[in-house]
């Protein structure tokens, strides 16, 4: 079982014929992902990677019934690309692009409120359902099929968590990199909720970082609604206040934005928190075993 994407998802690539779009679309196709075509304005009617190219997402949607779009469009145009996909009715939009102007994302986020599309990202590695579909830029060989859901702000830590989970003999149901920008689509809480509602996901790993309140909101939701064990990690435990660390959203603006404060909130909400990403897999295995004993 999976959430958001699977072997039947019909994926279209925005920025299909560009350097990044070409490289990562090739990787996705080689993994077995159902990439049915792409969009590059002015190149409609051509073929690329043996798949059709369309001028607009609306054209691609009409011709193929695509229900997932992945965006490899330069920052200045990515906000419009998100809105174009939503306007075409694409159910899931995954935006990989980093460095989108905040004002553009404010506009795109507001536009999405009136649409039925779900956005993952921007500035994210995407989504992978192991052995079914890779919609993003992650190193697929790290991921093996299993029953642990991963939601993370960090791409690198998504891969590290997956590796730890696989080494612990568990495997991954779906992994989602939600992105580290100040304004993103799907939040940590929303992703955790999807995993809680997935009958084939038995445990959840939640990876956050300094800045913002997404982890605290997710933790409080887990306390009130959680039915599965959650293991958490917060990156940036030694970060100084007021200094951005990597992601645009990773900046401590108040006392609740620190790693220590977030970790404390998570513990108070019943989440098992680890101090090092190296302990994620073994901790998840222990928590699952103990929860099974209790059950």
pLDDT at position 250 is 47
pLDDT at position 245 is 47
The CATH class, in words, for 11-120 is alpha beta
For residues 220-239, average pLDDT = 90
pLDDT at position 239 is 53
Out of 71-75, 212-216, 290-294, the most confident range is 71-75
Q: What is the mean pLDDT of the chain?
A: 93
pLDDT of 145 over the 70 cut? yes
> Is 247 annotated in the active site?
yes
> Residue ranges of the domains in the chain?
11-120, 138-294
Is 11-120's fold the same as 138-294's? yes
pLDDT of 246 over the 70 cut? no
Contact 254, 140 (CB under 8 A): no
Please choose, from the candidates 283, 261, 286, the residue with its C-alpha nearest in 3D space to the C-alpha of residue 273. Answer: 283
CB neighbours (10 Å) of residue 59? 18
pLDDT at position 22 is 98
**Do β-strands 11-14 and 47-48 pair in parallel, antiparallel, or remain unpaired?**
unpaired
Angle between helix axes 102-112 and 75-87 (nearest 10 degrees) is 0
Confidence of residue 198 (pLDDT cuts 50, 70, 90): very high
pLDDT at position 45 is 98
Confidence of residue 251 (pLDDT cuts 50, 70, 90): very low
Strands, E assignment, 167-244 = 172-177, 203-209, 230-235
pLDDT at position 111 is 98
Judged by average pLDDT, the poorest of 210-219, 251-260, 281-290 is 251-260
Burial of 265 by CB count in 10 Å (0-12 exposed, 13-18 middle, 19+ buried)?
A: buried
Alpha-carbon distance 66 to 232, whole Å?
34
Catalytic residue among 247, 250, 259, 266: 247
pLDDT of 41 over the 90 cut? yes
Fold of domain 138-294: Rossmann fold (3.40.50)
pLDDT at position 80 is 98
| Bridge partners, 208 (sequence order) | 234
Judged by average pLDDT, the poorest of 62-71, 163-172, 283-292 is 283-292
For residues 73-99, average pLDDT = 98
The per-residue pLDDT for range 92-110, each reduced to its tens digit, is 999 999 999 999 999 999 9
- CA 158 to each of CA 47, 75, 93, 205, 206: distance values in angstroms, whole numbers, following the listed order: 33, 23, 19, 9, 10
Out of 132-146, 198-212, 227-241, the most confident range is 132-146
pLDDT of 37 over the 50 cut? yes
Confidence of residue 255 (pLDDT cuts 50, 70, 90): low
- CA 154 to each of CA 39, 97, 280, 281: distance values in angstroms, whole numbers, following the listed order: 27, 14, 14, 17
pLDDT of 254 over the 60 cut? no
Alpha-carbon distance 130 to 128, whole Å?
6
98 DSSP 8-state letter? -
pLDDT at position 247 is 47
């Amino acid at each position: 079982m999976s959430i958001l994407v699977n072997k039947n998802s019909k994926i279209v690539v925005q920025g299909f014929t560009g350097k990044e779009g070409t490289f990562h679309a090739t990787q996705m196709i080689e993994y077995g992902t159902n990439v049915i075509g792409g969009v590059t304005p002015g190149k409609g009617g051509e073929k690329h990677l043996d798949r059709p190219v369309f001028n607009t997402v609306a054209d691609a949607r009409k011709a193929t019934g695509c229900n997932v779009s992945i965006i490899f469009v330069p920052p200045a145009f990515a906000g419009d690309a998100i809105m174009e996909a939503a306007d075409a009715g694409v159910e899931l939009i995954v935006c990989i692009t980093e460095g989108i102007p905040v004002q553009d994302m404010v506009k795109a986020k507001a536009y999405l409120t009136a649409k039925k599309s779900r956005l993952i990202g921007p500035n994210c590695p995407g989504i992978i359902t192991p052995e079914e579909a890779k919609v993003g830029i992650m190193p697929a060989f790290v991921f093996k099929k299993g029953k642990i859901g991963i939601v993370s702000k960090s791409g690198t830590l998504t891969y590290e968590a997956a590796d730890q989970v696989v080494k612990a003999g568990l495997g991954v149901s779906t992994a989602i990199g939600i992105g580290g920008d100040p304004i993103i689509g799907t939040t940590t809480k929303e992703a955790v909720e999807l995993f809680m509602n997935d009958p084939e996901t038995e445990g959840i790993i939640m990876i956050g970082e300094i800045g913002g309140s997404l982890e605290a909101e997710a933790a409080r939701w887990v306390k009130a609604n959680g039915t599965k064990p959650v293991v958490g990690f917060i990156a940036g435990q030694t970060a100084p206040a007021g200094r951005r660390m990597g992601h645009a959203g990773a900046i401590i603006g108040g006392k609740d934005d620190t790693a220590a404060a977030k970790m404390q909130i998570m513990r108070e909400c019943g989440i098992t928190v680890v101090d090092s990403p190296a302990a994620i897999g073994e901790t998840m295995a222990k928590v699952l075993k103990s929860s099974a004993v209790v059950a």
